[in-house]
Amino acid sequence: MNTASILKTFYKKLIFKMSANNCFLFTFFYRYLYRPSRGTLDEFTDIFSRRKKDITLVQVGANDGINNDPVHKFIKRDKWKGILLEPQRYVFEEYLKPLYRKTKGIIPLNAALDKEDGFKPIYKISISNSRWATGLTSFNREVLERAVRSGYIARQAKKEGCRMPENESDCISEEMVECIKTSSLMEKFGLKKIDWLQIDTEGYDFEIIKMFNPTLYKPEVIVYENLHLNDEDRLKCKKYLEECGYRIKDYGPNTLAMLNPPEYLERFF
């Protein structure tokens, strides 16, 4: 491991520890010094979070809760409340649970959202527990197979020093995870509203949106990853949300949807 990698790892561990302990310096930076770039999804979230009090979040596919997580800093800074779902047991126990152990109002849940309560197989990269690998975990095996075929897995494994199996299909393993349906989630945790629905499920995002039935539960803001949706599903998802009354705009690999944006947020659409 070179010096740059060592320093990067040290920095990530330091930030994780500061956040997990609700360090004053961490929240001070994001409250008083942080300035997101204009016209970005981060700027939208920053303004929404500062203006709206008592935000209730449901995050589906929280992973480790911090790396590449678009809402983590706002949860900590502005004391969001809610449920963070992550089905991978290793990631949940090693990172997500410790990260939020001292954060009042946030409940990490080791489960996946699905159409029925029960258990279901999820597919993951077998050769690494690093963020690049756990971030690919999905109910859709094809997402991982494409990553293998493209050479992405081999390149990341080489960077990390992981040994690739002779049979590339062995890069993908299966794990049985607990699943909970939307109505059970809402009832179990007494959720009366959802201000922000955050989704990152590697190609399963449209299905998750439909499970939350926006005409019934009416999350005010929905942010989902469009990156792994095929062209047809990407268009269908937007049309579905528009028919439910949402304004839509893509921000790179993510899509922002909002019900009745107030005037001060109109420019983001």
* Choice between 191 and 161, residue whose per-residue pLDDT is larger: 191
pLDDT digits (tens, 9 = 90+) for 91-136: 999 999 999 999 999 999 999 999 999 999 999 999 999 889 998 9
pLDDT of residue 122: 92
Beta bridge partners of 138: 123
What rounded mean pLDDT belongs to the chain? 94
Q: Which of these, 60, 24, 15, 35, lies nearest to 185 by C-alpha position?
A: 60
Burial 182-209 (b: 16+ CB within 10 A, else e): beebbeeeebeebbbbbbbbbbbbbbbb
Q: Which of these, 64, 234, 213, lies nearest to 134 by C-alpha position?
A: 64
Q: How many helices and strands, by DSSP H and E, does the chain display?
A: 12, 10
Measured in whole angstroms, how far is the alpha carbon of residue 89 from the centre of its chain? 16
Q: Which of these, 204, 166, 221, 178, lies nearest to 89 by C-alpha position?
A: 178
Pairing type for strands 56-60 and 221-225 reads: unpaired
Compute the average pLDDT of residues 227-246.
96
pTM: 0.91
Per-residue pLDDT band at 221 (split at 50, 70, 90): very high
Measured CA to CA, the distance from residue 235 to residue 137 in angstroms comes to: 23
Distance set, CA 126 to CA 45, 170, 230, 261 (Å)? 34, 7, 25, 42
Write the CATH number of the domain with boundaries 35-117+182-268.
3.40.50.150
* pLDDT above 80: residue 148: yes
Would you kindly state where each structural domain of the chain is located, as residue ranges? Answer: 35-117+182-268, 120-176
* Choice between 230 and 6, residue whose per-residue pLDDT is larger: 230
Instruction: Please name the residue that has the structure tokens 């320093």.
Output: 7
Least confident interval from 46-55, 138-147, 196-205: 138-147
73 contacts 44 by C-beta, under 8 angstroms: no
pLDDT digits (tens, 9 = 90+) for 6-45: 788 899 999 999 999 999 999 999 999 999 999 999 999 9
Quote the tokens at residue 20. 């997990």
pLDDT of residue 1: 56
* pLDDT above 80: residue 90: yes
CA geometry: angle 77, 200, 219, nearest 5 deg:
65
* pLDDT above 90: residue 225: yes
* pLDDT above 90: residue 75: yes
Compute the average pLDDT of residues 202-227.
95
Listed as own residue / partner, the contacts of 262-266 with beta carbons closer than 8 Å and 24 or more positions apart are: 264/47, 264/51, 265/44, 265/47, 265/48
% pLDDT > 70, the chain: 99
